[in-house]
Structure 1
Amino acid sequence: MAPRKRISRIASRSVATVEQFTKRINCRSVGTQTDILAKGPAKRKKVENKVKLLDSQPLSSQYLAIHLMPAINPLATETINRRPDTFSYFLPGPNEKSCQAVADRIADASDRVITASSGERQINHLKSVVSNRREEANQWDRNRLEILLAQINGDPPPRWNSATQLWLEVDMLEKRIEAYDQEELQNAKNRNLDRKLDGGQDKGPSDEKDQQTLKTLKAT
Structure 2
Amino acid sequence: MLGQQTTPLLGLLRKLEAQNIWRMSYNILGQQQQYSAAAAVAPAAEPAAEWIDNPSVSAQEAVKILVHQIQQSGPIKQRHLQVLYRRCQTPDDLDKALKLTRLNYLARGELQQHKPFSHKTSQILIHQALNVGAPEVAQKALKHASEFGLSHDSYKEFHPLMIYYSKQGHLQQMFEVFEFMRGHGRRPGPETCYILVKGCVDHGRPDLAELTIREFEQNGVRVRDGTKLYLDQNPRSVGCCT
Into which bin does the TM-score normalised by the smaller protein fall? under 0.3
| TM-score computed with the length of structure 1 as normaliser | 0.27
| TM-score computed with the length of structure 2 as normaliser | 0.25
Structure with bigger gyration radius: 1
Structure of higher RCO (CA pairs closer than 8 Å, 6+ residues apart): 2
